[in-house]
Amino acid sequence: MNFEIALVWESLPKIVEGMGLTIELLLISLTLGTALSVVLVLMRISGIPALVWPAFLYIYVFRGTPMLVQLFIVYHGLAQFEFVRNSVLWVFLREPFWCAIIAFSLNVAAYTAEILRGGIQGVDRGLHEAGRALGLKPYQRFLHVTAPIAIRLSLPAYGNEIISLLKGTALVSLITMYDITGVARTIVARTFAPYEIFVSAAIVYLCLTWLIQRGVGLAERRFGRYVRR
Amino acid sequence: MTDPARPIILLDRVTKSFGAFQALKGVSLEIARGQKVVVCGPSGSGKSTMIRCINRLEEHNGGRIVVDGIELTASIKDIDAVRREVGMVFQQFNLFPHLTAVENLMLAPRLVRKMPRREARELAMHYLERVHIPEQADKYPSQLSGGQQQRVAIARSLCMKPQIMLFDEPTSALDPEMIKEVLDVMGELAAEGMTMIVVTHEMGFARSVADLVIFMDKGEIVEQGPPATFFANPRNERTKTFLGQILTH
Ligand SMILES: Nc1ncnc2c1ncn2[C@@H]1O[C@H](COP(=O)(O)OP(=O)(O)OP(=O)(O)O)[C@@H](O)[C@H]1O
Ligand SMILES: [Mg+2]
């Protein structure tokens, strides 16, 4: 096998052009998905069956199916419905970009809801009792005691979820989009040099992963000042 | 409201069950304003359950509990009123780990009493001075010793200006050299006239501070009396056995 290191370097600038789309997909679906996850986890822990069960079912479905299948369902599936094509939302839904955002956000929401639930369960029961004994109302205990501690406890798993999502964004190359992987594939089609080009793509992903890990590390330190090390 | 003759805490044949298990089997007790009561008894005898019923961390199933004229019922409004009157200190301190010492003290006054930040901070510093650790104000609980943490917890309760303080084995989780600093603070509080119920096996504290010592076993108050008679002439066999165990060891 001959491996041209020079080709890796030459293709890097092109591939970096696809990085913009990757980052956009990552940030938008992370934001939307995390916002939705907060709603989901509140439903999940509400103790009200009419809220718990839909949230449970949602999480079960989205964690139990591949993200690629979810993406295909949104991308190919929704267009089958007449009422979807006639609705105002069609402006978005016919764009692969928004299909990806929808699928990724829904997926991230399910995982993040479970991560947050784990964090909330990790908060010491004694702290709830101390809050009750001091006369704090349930929502005050949640906002001022449970939530800040749960966020700190959830951060490492959430960091992993961001990295999973970063890797998951590569799926958009299968629905005609030119993210890092999508650009790499077009270059491969021209140059017939899959090793070098995909190594180049891998390097770009690794740089992004490193950035995410740094970011989460900083956040852990910021939210975890109180943890003795 | 403040009829001095009326007991500030009244328990009348209180029962509490966890499923089929009866943790309190009809406990009756009257505590006058300013009285200091020490509760002792073997593990599982219902000491924690009894005091947790007084601020309704547990709901009793039968009998009556009246705190400062407010009967504890299912009505939420009364519960908040009672919790404002009753402070509680736990064996495990239960300080909020993400807040500094002074922030731990400020939280309830700000949220429950709607106190402005500056005023809450002044109040908090005042109580940190009372427990002799104003210099630790800006440390997180994880940076404090056990004894310091427990004193912060006491100060945190005092910030709500309670009429009654409940202590559930406040020194059991402490290293021996830190027990005294916590008991000293509690002694000072007692000297200022606070009504206190203290679950503890520190019999020295009971002797010097308590007006009344209560011995519980199997969900019942088996014996009670002023410390002098309680320790000198326990009448009940179970009390004698128990005292024999903890005083010799
Ligand atoms: N939440 C609960 N669910 C079930 N059983 C409980 C619960 N809380 C207490 N109990 C039971 O009630 C009994 C009395 O418990 P309690 O904690 O009041 O005892 P205690 O006298 O404080 O003992 P210790 O000295 O060990 O703290 C015990 O047998 C305990 O197992
Ligand atoms: Mg106990």
State the Cα–Cα distance between residues A192 and A188, nearest whole angstrom: 5
Q: Tokens at residue B182, please?
A: 């916590």
Closest C-alpha to B162, from B81, B58, B230: B81
The answer to whether the pTM exceeds 0.80 is yes
Q: Do A129 and B95 touch (CB under 8 A)?
A: no
Q: How confident is the model at residue A191 (pLDDT cuts 50, 70, 90)?
A: confident
Question: Which of A123, A129, A132, A134 to mutate to probe the B interface, most B CBs <10 Å?
Answer: A134
Q: Where are the domains of chain A?
A: 5-228
Looking at residue B238, its amino acid is R
Question: Which residues, in sequence order, are bridge partners of residue B213?
Answer: B38, B225
In this structure, of A40-54, A77-91, A206-220, the range with the lowest mean pLDDT score is A77-91
Nearest CA to ligand 1 atom 30: B44
The pLDDT tens digits for A82-133 are: 887 888 878 877 889 999 999 999 999 999 999 999 999 999 999 999 999 9
pLDDT recorded at residue B3: 61
In sequence order, which residues have a C-beta less than 8 Å from that of residue B74 and are 6 or more positions away? B59
Q: Which residues of A touch B87 (CB under 8 A)?
A: 133
pLDDT recorded at residue B2: 55
B87 part of contact set with chain A, CB < 8 Å: yes
The pLDDT tens digits for A153-184 are: 999 999 999 999 999 999 999 998 999 999 99
Domain A5-228 - what CATH class? mainly alpha
- The burial of B86, by beta-carbon neighbours within 10 Å (0-12 exposed, 13-18 middle, 19 or more buried), is given as buried
- The number of the ligand nearest the C-alpha atom of B24 reads 1
Q: How confident is the model at residue A228 (pLDDT cuts 50, 70, 90)?
A: low
State the Cα–Cα distance between residues A108 and A111, nearest whole angstrom: 5
- The pLDDT > 90 percentage for chain A reads 72
- The pLDDT > 70 percentage for chain A reads 99
DSSP letter at B97 equals T
Q: How confident is the model at residue A65 (pLDDT cuts 50, 70, 90)?
A: very high
DSSP β-ladder status, B62-67 and B195-199? unpaired
A225 part of contact set with chain B, CB < 8 Å: yes
Q: In chain B, which stretches have pLDDT less than 70?
A: 1-5, 76, 248-249
pLDDT recorded at residue B70: 87
Q: How confident is the model at residue A8 (pLDDT cuts 50, 70, 90)?
A: confident
Cα torsion B122, B128, B132, B138: sign: negative
Q: Which residues of A touch B157 (CB under 8 A)?
A: 133-134
State the Cα–Cα distance between residues B40 and B187, nearest whole angstrom: 18
ipTM above 0.85, yes or no: yes
Nearest CA to ligand 1 atom 11: B23
